[in-house]
Amino acid sequence: MLFCFNAAEVFQIAVEIEENGKAFYDKARELVTDPEVKKLFADLALEEVSHKKKFEDFKAQLPSGLAAPTVSDPQHELDLYIKMMADQHVFRTTKELDAQVSKIQSAADALKLAIQFEKDSVLFFLSMQEATCEGKGRDLVTLLVKEEQEHVRRLSLQLRKITHSAG
């Protein structure tokens, strides 16, 4: 089946990813003792909530043409495909989240895992941007990418800071 996505479909996945991001930051914050990392994770958890709301608002405000299906899909195969793509994302399910969080042994481990999550989000949204039809809100998907890139930047700075002070 050949199709392309619209911005509404991408924003729905973004909402789910942000929910999982918040759950990750909340759980990881409980495991680390470094006060700066705890604060960063608390801030990022709040930003995930803010992003989720922003993405829900974007989705709700999309003109009907940007939310309209791009193909006839009577068996809802597109929804299944989108969910399958999102399922490939790290932390898509609570079980996967718990399994990854259980491996955290240090603040550096938690930061590395958070960076990987955010990088995966960037890659996921870039691929979704490519699969979003021209004129169906592709430029709005760029906003998702920029939000996640900022998280990667902040997490990377914190990791560099704690690894340099430990070395």
CA torsion, points 63, 131, 13, 109, in degrees to nearest 10? -140
- The whole domain housing 40 covers 7-166
CA angle in degrees (0–180, nearest 5) for 9-101-11: 10
Specify the 3-state DSSP secondary structure of 87. Answer: helix
Provide the 10 A C-beta neighbour count for residue 53: 12
**Dihedral sign from CA coordinates of 100, 103, 105, 109:** negative
* 12 vs 19: CA distance, rounded Å: 11
* 61 vs 55: CA distance, rounded Å: 10
Residue 60 vs residue 38, higher pLDDT: 38
**Running DSSP on this structure, what letter comes out for residue 32?**
-
Quote the mean pLDDT of the chain.
81
Joined together, the tokens standing for residue 46 give 């709040």
Q: What is the pLDDT of residues 82-133, one digit of tens each?
A: 666 666 665 666 777 888 889 999 999 999 999 998 998 888 888 777 766 6
CB of 59 closer than 8 Å to CB of 11: yes
Q: Is residue 121 part of a domain?
A: yes
Q: Is residue 2 part of a domain?
A: no
Q: What is the pLDDT of residues 44-73, one digit of tens each?
A: 999 999 988 887 887 787 777 655 555 566
Q: Is residue 1 part of a domain?
A: no
Q: Is residue 42 part of a domain?
A: yes
Q: What is the domain-level CATH number for residue 34? A: 1.20.1260.10
What is the number of structural domains in the chain? Answer: 1
